[in-house]
Structure 1
Amino acid sequence: MVMMPTPASRRRSVVAELEGALLRGADTFPYFMLVAFEASGLLRFAALLAVWPLLRLLELLGRGRLALRLAAFVATAGVPRAEVEAVARAVLPKFLADDVDAAAWAAFGGCEGRRVVVTRMPRVMVEPFAREHLGAHEVVGCELEYSRLRRSTGIVRGGGKEAMADRVRALFADGGWPDLGLGRSEMAHSFLPYCKEQLQPPFTAGDVMNAPPFRPVIFHDGRLVCRPTPFMSLVILVWLPLGVLLAFVRIGVGITVPIWSIPRIAPIFGGAVIMHGRAPPHVGAGNNTPDGSPSGVLFVCTHRTLMDPVVLATVLGRRVAAVTYSISRLSEILSPIPTVRLTRDRDVDAAHMRAELSRGDVAVCPEGTTCREPFLLRFSALFAELSDRIVPVAMNYRVGLFHPTTARGWKAMDPIFFFMNPRPVYEVTFLNQLPAEATCAAGKSPVDVANHVQRILAATLGFECTSLTRKDKYRVLAGNDGIFNAKPPPAAEPAWQRRVREVLGFLLH
C-alpha cells in the first residue's frame, strides 16, 4: 500500500532505488557500455553492443537478473580493478547526474537521517556518485569479483532481491525501520514493506523548490559526449572510420594552409569558427609599453580544449605564442603556432613569458587545465604581473560525439578526437582590453586583477566562478596532482621502475 507523503522535515531516514526512482531511466545498459569503452576499448564496446539483442530478449522473458550478469561479464571480464574504479569515479557520475529525477531528489535529499541507495548494478559502479553527489551513507548492490591479479572476473555476487532486502534491514537494525522508501521495481518491493512511508514514480514536484542543492559534477573524464544507448552506440561505431579519416584530412589541411584562411575554409570540412566582439589591432614587436619595454598583447583565455590558442591565432590571422604546462610531443609538432613549455617555477616562467611578449602576442590560459562544465577554475595571478595590455577572450566549443580533452587518457589524441566530431564548432568572444585603472599599473594586486578577469569572462559565458584548481581536478579524475614530470621520493619505487615510467612518460606525453 502506498501511504500519503509527509513533510520532508519529519523524515529521518530513507532508502531509495537508484534505477527508475532516483534516476528517471531504469536501463543499466548505457552504464555498462561506458565501462566497456572507457576501461577497455572499442573492441569490448562493440562486443557488448553485439550482445544487446540477447540482453533485451532475456529482459522480455523476465530474466533481467541474468541479463545484468551477462552485461557485467562482457563489460568487465579481465579489466584491471583500478580501471573499473577509475571509470566509476571519473566518467559515470556525469551521466548518472544528468538522469537524476528532480522530484525524487527532493524527497531523498530532504531526509536528514541515514540515506541508503539500492542499485541493481555492481556497487563499485555506483558508490562514488551516490556518496559524493547524492549524499548517500550506504550503497547496497551486487559485488563484482576480482582475481588475485586484481582483475575483474566478470562475475557478480549477491544481486538477488532477498539478499538486497536482508542488507537493507541489517543497516536499519539498530534504528528501526526506514521512514521513507522510494522505488517501484520488483527489487524495490522487497524492501518497501519495511518502510514507514512509500513513494513510487511518478513523483510529485511539490517539494522540489525546497530540496537541498544538488552537488554538480564539475570534473569528469571520458571521450563520449552522448549517453551510449544501443542506437547511439551503433551511430558511434558506424561513424568512427569516417571520423578518423575526416580528422586527419582536417588536421592535414590546417597545418598546410595559411592560418588566416582557416575560419573561411572550415565550413567546407564541416566545422565552424564563430567570432564575437572586435579583435585588437596588431601591436607588433617594435611598439613599446609606457615604461619603454617592448610588449605584445597578452590574451587571457578561458581553457576549454587544447585547441584554444590555435583557434585564437586563426581568428586573429597572425602569430600568437601559446604558453603551456604539459602537452604531448605530437601536439607540439602538429601545432601551427609556437608553443612555450613552462616549468611551474614562478620566476623562470615569468622570464619566459616576458621574453615571448617582447617578440609579439601571447595567449595564456590561467586556469592551468581544461574544464568541460560551465565553471571557471581559479585563475593564476602570474599573467597580471607581466603586462598591462591584457585582453580577456572567452573561448567555448560545441561537439556532438567525442570530448577533445582527457585527464586519464592519451593527451596526444585530444586534437584528433576534436576533429573526429561531425561538426566541431568554436566560439571566440573578444572583450575590451582592461583599462589601465584595472591593472597592476594602477596599484591593483595581481590577485585582484586575476579575479576581476575571471568574473568578467564567467559573466560573458554564463559560467560560475570557482576556487578549484588544476590539482583539484586531477586528484578527482586521475589520483595525482596533474604534474607529469614530478619526481617521486627516492624510496617510493625501484630505480628500474622509475626509469621505465620516465621513458613511457616521455613517449606518451
Structure 2
Amino acid sequence: VPRAELEAVARAVLPKFMADDVDPAAWAAFGACEGRRVVVTRMPRVMVEWFAREHLGAHDVVGCDLEYSRLRRCTGFLKGGGDEAVTDRVRVLFRDGDRPDLGLGRSEMARSFLPFCKEQLQPPLSVDDDDDDVARRPKCPPFRPVIFHDGRLVRRPTALMSIAILLWIPLGVLLAVVRITLGLVLPIQALPYVAPFVGGAVITRGRPPAPTTGINGSPTGVLFVCTHRTLMDPVALAFVLGRRVAAVTYSLSRLSEILSPIPTVRLTRDRDTDAARMRAELARGDVAVCPEGTTCREPFLLRFSALFAELSDRIVPVATNYRVGLFHPTTARGWKAMDPIFFFMNPRPVYEVTFLNQLPAEATCAAGRSPVDVANYVQRILAATLGFECTTFTRKDKYRVLAGNDGIVGAKPAATAAAAATKPGWQRRVKEVLGFLRFTKID
C-alpha cells in the first residue's frame, strides 16, 4: 500500500470510527489539561496522528511506525512498538526531569508510560459529582467534531461484521441490479407501489406542491431547494411528486447520468452559464437544486450558494435525509459511478422527504432581499427541520480534507496536461474510460 494512501485513509476514514470511541469522562480529564498533551497508542502513528492533533488537540503522538520500501510502499512490518521504546520517547518529550501530571490508560498500558506519570487513571473513569454535565456530553463536542469523512462502510468492520458484509455483497449486487432496472423500466408513478416488494421505503412529510400552469396554459416550474445527502435526493423528490423533475448536477459521473430515471442538467461552475441553463430548465418544468454543492454525511448543512435565489421566486425548501445499514452511497476519493449501486446494495435503504411551505414573497428577492440573505434563511429553516447545525463550510473545504484538492472537476496543471497529451493512444483511451466511471479525467 502506498504511503500516501495510508495517510489519506487516516485523514478521511478513520477519524469517524475513532470519534465514536471517545469516552466523555476520559475527554473531560484529557481536555482539561492546560499543558502539553500527548497521545500514546499501540496503533501505527500514521493512522492516529491526524485525529489526535485535529480533534483531540494533542501536541504529540507516540506510537509504533510502519516500515516502507524504497518505493514508499508499506511492507506491513512495525518498528519501535515495545513498551520500553514508548516510555523512552515519552521521557524525551518531558525533559529536565519533568513528568506528566496525569496519565490515562487501560490496564495493559500499566507497564508502558503510566508508571512515568505523577497520577494515573484507568477505566472505568469517573468524574466529580459537580461534573455530571461533563460526563453526559455528546461524543464529539467539545473537541472538534468529525464533519467530513469518507469510506463506504457504515459500521465498524469488526471480524463478525466483515464476514457478514462479505456474505451480503453477492446478494446486495443482485438486489441493486433489480432495483435499478425497475427504476429505469417502470414509469415513476408506479414506483411507490413496487418499492415495498424490493425493500426500502420513502417517508413523506408535508404537502407536496401541485403542478401549476401559467396564463397561457404552459407549465411554470417550481424550484425545489433540497439538502444534499446523496445523489438520490432529486430522485427521491421525483419519486414522491410522481412527475418530471430535472436535477441540477456538477460532479455526477456519466454512468450515474445514464442510470438516472430523471433528467439531469450538468453545471459548469461558471455563474452566468449555470444561471442560463437553470432558467431554461425552469421554463420547461420543475427543477431540483442542492445549493450545498456536495454531500455531507453528518448532521450539518454546508454553506448554501445564493445562485438559486436569483432565478425564481417560487422556491419550495425540501429537507431530505436517508438511512442505510451497510454502505455509504457517497464518496470523495472513490469511484462516484458506484454511488447508486452502493445505495441500492443496502438491505433496506430509507429516504425521508419533508416538504416545507413555499417561501412567502417577502422572503424572496422580489421583496428586495439579497440572494445571500435568502440562501441563509433557507439553510436555517432546513437545518431546523432536520435538527442539523448550519456551517460555513463549502465544497472546497470538504475536498481539501478528504481528497487533498479543491473538488474542481477536470482541473489540472498545464504541465500535467501536456504530459498526458504525450502518452500513447491506448493509455489515453484507458484513462478516458476510467474517467467516464469516476466523473473526471485521471492524470
1:188-220: per-residue Cα shift (whole Å, max 9, x none)? 432212211111111003346358712110000
Quote the residue 1:459 is aligned against. 384
Quote the residue 1:54 is aligned against. none
Quote the residue 1:227 is aligned against. 156
Quote the residue 2:318 is aligned against. 393
1:400-456: per-residue Cα shift (whole Å, max 9, x none)? 000000001000000000000000000100000000000000000000000000000
**8 Å Cα contact 2:325/2:347 also seen in 1:** yes
Name the amino acid aligned to 1:267.
Answer: P
Corresponding position: 1:108 with 2:33:
no
Quote the residue 2:41 is aligned against. 119
Quote the residue 1:142 is aligned against. 64
Name the amino acid aligned to 1:441.
Answer: A
1:404-423 to structure 2, matched below 5 A, reads 404-423=329-348
How far did residue 264 of structure 1 move? 2.3
Give the secondary-structure state (helix, strand or coil) at the position aligned to 1:189: coil
Q: 1:480 to 1:318 in 2, by over 3 A?
A: same
**Structure 1 Cα separation of the partners of residues 290 and 97 of structure 2:** 52
Please point out which of 274, 283, 293 is paired with 2:203.
274
* 4+ residue segments displaced more than 2 Å: 184-190, 205-212, 286-289, 489-508
Corresponding position: 1:196 with 2:80:
no
Number of equivalent positions = 427
Corresponding position: 1:371 with 2:296:
yes
How far did residue 86 of structure 1 move? 0.9
Quote the residue 1:7 is aligned against. none
Name the amino acid aligned to 2:166.
Answer: L
Gapped regions of structure 1 (runs ≥ 5):
1-78
How far did residue 294 of structure 1 move? 7.1
Please point out which of 167, 172, 188 is paired with 1:238.
167
1:294-342: per-residue Cα shift (whole Å, max 9, x none)? 7410000000000110110011000000011111111010111110000
**Structure 2 Cα separation of the partners of residues 446 and 175 of structure 1:** 61
Corresponding position: 1:209 with 2:133:
yes
**Structure 2 Cα separation of the partners of residues 430 and 158 of structure 1:** 57
Corresponding position: 1:505 with 2:435:
yes
Q: 1:361 to 1:175 in 2, by over 3 A?
A: farther
Q: 1:185 to 1:492 in 2, by over 3 A?
A: farther
How far did residue 370 of structure 1 move? 0.4
Corresponding position: 1:345 with 2:275:
no
Name the amino acid aligned to 1:508.
Answer: R
**Structure 2 Cα separation of the partners of residues 205 and 358 of structure 1:** 62
Quote the residue 1:264 is aligned against. 193
Corresponding position: 1:436 with 2:385:
no
**Structure 1 Cα separation of the partners of residues 282 and 3 of structure 2:** 47
1:242-321 to structure 2, matched below 5 A, reads 242-284=171-213, 286=214, 295-321=220-246
**Backbone CA RMSD of aligned residues:** 1.9
Q: 1:208 to 1:122 in 2, by over 3 A?
A: farther
**Structure 2 Cα separation of the partners of residues 378 and 395 of structure 1:** 16
How far did residue 464 of structure 1 move? 0.2
**Structure 1 Cα separation of the partners of residues 422 and 37 of structure 2:** 44
How far did residue 238 of structure 1 move? 1.0
Please report the TM-score for the alignment, with normalisation by the length of structure 1.
0.81
**8 Å Cα contact 1:221/1:407 also seen in 2:** yes
**Structure 2 Cα separation of the partners of residues 507 and 462 of structure 1:** 35
Q: 1:175 to 1:343 in 2, by over 3 A?
A: farther
Decide which moves more: 471-480 or 255-264. Answer: 255-264
Name the amino acid aligned to 1:269.
Answer: V
**Structure 1 Cα separation of the partners of residues 303 and 414 of structure 2:** 29
Identity of aligned residues (%): 80
Give the secondary-structure state (helix, strand or coil) at the position aligned to 2:190: helix
**8 Å Cα contact 1:183/1:189 also seen in 2:** no
**Structure 2 Cα separation of the partners of residues 401 and 263 of structure 1:** 23
1:327-361: per-residue Cα shift (whole Å, max 9, x none)? 11110101111100000000110000000000000
1:46-84: per-residue Cα shift (whole Å, max 9, x none)? xxxxxxxxxxxxxxxxxxxxxxxxxxxxxxxxx111111
Corresponding position: 1:326 with 2:251:
yes
Name the amino acid aligned to 2:435.
Answer: G
Name the amino acid aligned to 1:455.
Answer: R
Q: 1:493 to 1:86 in 2, by over 3 A?
A: farther
Give the secondary-structure state (helix, strand or coil) at the position aligned to 1:472: helix
Quote the residue 2:53 is aligned against. 131
**8 Å Cα contact 2:255/2:436 also seen in 1:** no
Give the secondary-structure state (helix, strand or coil) at the position aligned to 1:304: coil
Q: 1:385 to 1:288 in 2, by over 3 A?
A: farther
Give the secondary-structure state (helix, strand or coil) at the position aligned to 1:119: strand
**Structure 2 Cα separation of the partners of residues 287 and 436 of structure 1:** 19
Name the amino acid aligned to 2:207.
Answer: R
Give the secondary-structure state (helix, strand or coil) at the position aligned to 1:260: coil
Gapped regions of structure 2 (runs ≥ 5):
none
Quote the residue 2:84 is aligned against. 162
Name the amino acid aligned to 1:103.
Answer: A
